[in-house]
Amino acid sequence: MRTESRGFVLPTTLMVMALLTVMLTAAFILISAEYRTTDNALAMSRAHAIAQAGLENYMSRYPSITPTSTYDSVHVVFGSGYAEVVAQRLVASSGSHPTLWLIRSTGVQTAGGTLTGQTTGRRVVAQLAVLNPGKLPLKSAFVAANPLVVAANGGNPISGDDACLFNVDTAGLTIAAGDLSGSGVQGGIRTLPSRATVLDSTHVDWASLLAGNFTPDYVVPPWPAPSLANRVYYAPGDLTLPTGTRWGVLVVQGDLTLGSGGATEWDGVVLVGGRIIEAGGSITVHGSVTTGLNNLINPNSVPPDSVNQAGNSEYRWDSCWTALQQLSMGSLSPLRNGFINTWSTY
């Protein structure tokens, strides 16, 4: 008698299908893991780039910190994420040693192709830096490296008497011998042997500045919205200062026209390559003015300044405004070998 085996194909088929299913599932799991690993690496790489971009943005724009500050922070937004930059003072300045700061930047990727459910890329970098506060040896209310004509008109339009409450008086005018015509200077006149000596006393590297080794906060015009922050403004040519009150450090490559169309006031530091032209309106400058810097490039090329011809000008020394606005010219200098590629946070 012969016994037949029935149903052998069905169990074999089910076993093969189960084996294929397991293999296919394992393949999908491996591919998914590869995708997630690659995506995580890409997210971390992008977060690292965002963190570095935030750090460089902060360093290049110069934050609102002073030699007495201990902390600062800023939120920088990019197209694919943002950076939280925090600056902390590690060591205060002492003698000739500048202030030491630690700037850390946390980059977070919020867009850019991550898989659904994946953790957002996050990376922290840091940089050790020293704070070099801006400093100009301003010793007069008005420094003229070109000829100057002053009309007193019964007053003293140029004054070294401090408008600040600290009353740190100085000379009203610094000028080369023989370059002053007229009267109307209060606080004494600092007379130097030549225009070259006057230019040397300013410690302004005008040629380097004009060559592009200078990064202002704004190139004007147009003028930004009014702000209480200390800023550096640069005009790459002649400039007519609009009416109203403004403050900061103003650098003008050519001539500066004041009092056009009404009252104009500048509080802070003014550096002019050419001369000051008064257009007849009320003019007030509290701080310090330097003119004729283009004589560093082409000696004796700048025509005379003519001050107070209409009898409504005031150029007055102000130790508070000059000290405050010079902070905007400072810089954070990264320490060599002071970059930390991965900063641990807990």
Reported as a pLDDT band with limits 50, 70 and 90, residue 37 is low
CA angle 69, 74, 79 (to 5 degrees): 160
Per-residue buried b or exposed e for 229-245, using 16+ beta carbons within 10 Å of the residue's own CB: ebbbbbbeeebbbeeee
Q: Are 83 and 74 in contact (CB under 8 A)?
A: no
**Burial classification of residue 117, based on how many CB atoms lie within 10 Å of its CB (0-12 exposed, 13-18 middle, 19 or more buried):** exposed
pLDDT, tens only, 322-338: 888 877 677 788 888 89
Asked if residue 229 and residue 164 are part of one domain, the reply reads: yes
92 assigned to some structural domain? yes
For the chain, give the percent of residues with pLDDT over 90. Answer: 52
Q: Are residues 155 and 272 in the same domain?
A: yes
- C-alpha 48/C-alpha 339 separation (Å) is 13
Question: DSSP state, 112?
Answer: S
CATH number at residue 104: 3.30.1300
If asked whether residues 179 and 223 sit together in one domain, one would say yes
Same domain, yes or no, for 102 and 188?
no
- Residue 110 C-alpha from the chain's centroid: 27
Locate tokens 């010793």: which residue? Answer: 139
pLDDT at 132: 77
CA distance 333 to 99: 11
Residue 282 confidence (pLDDT): 94
**Res 245 pLDDT > 80:** yes
pLDDT level of residue 34 (50, 70, 90 thresholds): low
68 and 207 housed in the same domain:
no
DSSP lists the bridge partners of residue 66 as none
Cα distance between residue 147 and residue 144, in whole Å: 7
Report residue 345's pLDDT band, with 50, 70 and 90 as the boundaries: low
pLDDT tens per residue, range 7-30:
667 777 778 788 878 777 877 777
- pLDDT at position 289, please? 97
pLDDT-derived band at 293 (thresholds 50, 70, 90) equals very high
The Cα–Cα gap between 141 and 166 comes to 16
Q: Which of 103-112, 190-199, 310-319 has the lowest mean pLDDT?
A: 103-112
User: What number is the average pLDDT over the span 84-108?
Assistant: 88
Residues 270, 172: Cα–Cα separation, whole Å: 15
> How far apart (Å, rounded) are the C-alpha atoms in residues 295 and 85?
42
**DSSP string covering 170-184, please?**
-EEEEEETT-EEE--
172 and 291 part of one domain = yes
> What does the block give as tokens for 335?
């320490």
Instruction: Using the predicted structure, report yes or no on whether residue 182 has a pLDDT greater than 90.
Output: yes
Q: How far apart are CA 144 and CA 306, in angstroms?
A: 11
* Count of C-beta atoms within a 10 Å radius of residue 38: 11
Which range of residues forms the domain containing residue 158? 140-329
Question: What's the mean pLDDT when you consider all of the chain?
Answer: 86
Q: Check residues 247 and 228 and name the one with the higher pLDDT.
A: 247
C-alpha angle 251/257/263, rounded to 5°?
A: 105
Residue 8: the pLDDT is 67
Q: Is the pLDDT of residue 257 over 90?
A: yes
Backbone angles phi, psi at 111, to 5 degrees: -155, 165
Asked if pLDDT for residue 171 goes beyond 90, the answer is yes
Note the pTM of the prediction, 2 decimals: 0.67
The answer to whether 239 and 258 have CB atoms below 8 angstroms apart is no
Residues 193 and 46 in one domain: no
Claim to verify: residue 47 and residue 81 sit in the same structural domain: yes
48, 101: one domain: yes
Residue 279 and residue 152 share a domain: yes
* Phi/psi at 190 (5° precision): -95, 100
Give the C-alpha separation, 144 to 189, whole Å. Answer: 11
